[in-house]
Amino acid sequence: MVLLFLFTLLPNLNANLNTRYVMKFCLRFGIFLFSVLMYGQKTYLHCGTILDVESGKMLKEKTLVISGDKIMAIEDGYSAAGDSDTTIDLRNKTVLPGFIDMHVHLEGESNPSRYLERFTKNDVDVAFQSTVYAKRTLLAGFTTVRDLGGSGVNIALKKAINKGVVIGPRIFTAGKAIGTTGGHADPTNGMRKELMGDPGPKEGVVNSPEDAKKAVRQRYKNGADVIKITATGGVMSVAKNGQNPQFTEEEIRAIVETANDYGMLTAAHAHGDEGMRRAIKAGIKTIEHGTLMKAPTMDLMIQYNTYLVPTISAGKAAAKMADIPGFLPPIVAKKAKEIGPISEKNFEKAYKKGVPIAFGTDAGVSPHGENGKEFGYMVTAGMPALKAIQSATVTNADLLGMADDIGQLKEGFIADIVAVEKDPIKDIKTLENVVFVMKEGKVYKE
């Protein structure tokens, strides 16, 4: 900063003290002060304990020095800040990198009127609603999410957050999910025939490899970051089968190859076993839910290095909703009672067999802001606490292609930082009550 200041003065050192010089001096000194304010101020986080999520070590009495949106340094002890800097006391807290949820739906949330709202809400209504859920998610400690399907409002939400217009997590979005005619992502399911029409690739409904390619390219054109397909029937859609395969392997392969050409990560909603097998063989990277997965399919996931995103939270939420009279349409409630309770048990089998696991909740089916409960469900099902935390940090960062930017607390990484009251290795439920949230160097919860 001193060098910058001297540089502003050098051209005028020998000039007479006249009006022109004074104007130049004031202008350049103003630029200098602006630079100091913008780049010179730092934030010092005095951390009692930092969980190194990669090694599992607890690092005691450290200072995280934040400059702009990056972690500039990690220093031993509690470093003294400068006069213009900010110090935040987290000496009685455990500090971790911001969490990453690989499966959310920020446009809505389960309620008894949800199926009617398709006909009563405009895009602007959905947009305003989504901002509430986005903020709730960020304040729960989830600084990055993958939104796996909505009307397309989620793309606008992502842009608004990136511009600082709306408070929320960093979003990687699929825009509108891709399904087949009458399949889980057909937006006209359950409508009367005059409203059904015949949606196609533009609306995310495909029935051939050529349709599939066009649908991917349309998602890219719309501004999506990832591709999500519904490889099998689903629980929450107004259709009778929640597990049948709904794509041919050739259609899925066309989707994956096109998505790879455009640098887009692929995900497949899947409850039934056959649909999962087709998706895995065709190259899909993450299987969402995996509820009725059989042992041979688990072996296939290990062979192809395909990740399971278990979304235990959604299974539990769906089962609860099914027990409330009138909350779900009868055709949906029946599937929720059958499939919902199985998710935790099948996750336990998959984890013990060695299937790669990525953290995801399906928030929107379960309440937004309660994403942290998934950690407890995973641990109850047999996953060690550290492994569960790693699935929501280093694993998901790697899947998103951001392993050198997020998911860890390291020098040069983006300053996505959270803090909790207790040691999460000993008490995983502490992650349900995040008390400090910083995203990109800005404090949102303290």
How far is 330 from 226, CA to CA, in rounded Å?
A: 32
Verify that 252 and 136 share a domain, yes or no. Answer: yes
Q: Tell me what pLDDT residue 20 has.
A: 54
Three-state SS sequence of 237-260: CCCCCCCCECCCHHHHHHHHHHHH
Q: Tell me what pLDDT residue 10 has.
A: 44
Indicate the pTM of the whole model.
0.89
Phi, psi for residue 146 in degrees, rounded to 5: -115, 115
Q: Is 347 contained in some domain?
A: yes
Verify that 418 and 297 share a domain, yes or no. Answer: no
What are the structure tokens assigned to 414, written together?
């983006």
Verify that 361 and 432 share a domain, yes or no. Answer: no
Q: Tell me what pLDDT residue 439 has.
A: 98
Are the CB atoms for 75 and 63 separated by under 8 Å?
yes
Angle at 383 between CA 50 and CA 381, to 5 degrees: 135
Q: Is 336 contained in some domain?
A: yes
Q: Is 114 contained in some domain?
A: yes
Q: Tell me what pLDDT residue 417 has.
A: 98
Q: Tell me what pLDDT residue 321 has.
A: 87
What are the structure tokens assigned to 394, written together?
């280093």
In this structure, what CATH number is given to the domain that contains residue 241? 3.20.20.140
Verify that 303 and 374 share a domain, yes or no. Answer: yes
Are the CB atoms for 376 and 347 separated by under 8 Å?
no
Q: Tell me what pLDDT residue 332 has.
A: 84
Verify that 91 and 104 share a domain, yes or no. Answer: no
Q: What is the pLDDT of residues 223-269, one digit of tens each?
A: 999 999 999 988 877 777 778 999 999 999 999 999 999 999 999 99
Q: Is 405 contained in some domain?
A: no
Q: Is 404 contained in some domain?
A: no
Q: Is 330 contained in some domain?
A: yes
Q: Tell me what pLDDT residue 19 has.
A: 55
Verify that 106 and 247 share a domain, yes or no. Answer: yes
Verify that 312 and 213 share a domain, yes or no. Answer: yes
Verify that 289 and 330 share a domain, yes or no. Answer: yes
Are the CB atoms for 88 and 446 separated by under 8 Å?
yes
DSSP class of residue 366?
B
Q: Tell me what pLDDT residue 23 has.
A: 57
Strands (E), 52-166: 58-67, 70-76, 86-97, 99-104, 142-147
Which domain range does residue 23 map to?
2-31
Verify that 377 and 321 share a domain, yes or no. Answer: yes
Verify that 334 and 259 share a domain, yes or no. Answer: yes
How many domains does the chain divide into? 3
In b/e form, how buried is each residue of 135-151, taking b as 16+ CB within 10 angstroms? bbbbbbbbbbbbbbbbb
Q: Is 406 contained in some domain?
A: no
Verify that 233 and 354 share a domain, yes or no. Answer: yes
Measure Cα distances from 49 to 19, 62, 93, 95, 391 in Å. 56, 7, 6, 6, 20
Q: Tell me what pLDDT residue 1 has.
A: 44
- Give the pairing type, strands 142-147 and 170-173: parallel
Verify that 187 and 264 share a domain, yes or no. Answer: yes
Q: How far apart are the first and last CA of the chain?
A: 30
Ranges of the chain whose pLDDT falls below 70: 1-39
Sort 190 into a burial class: Cβ within 10 Å, 0-12 / 13-18 / 19+: middle
In this structure, what CATH number is given to the domain that contains residue 48? 2.30.40.10
Reduce the DSSP state of residue 177 to 3 states and report it.
coil
Q: Tell me what pLDDT residue 46 has.
A: 98
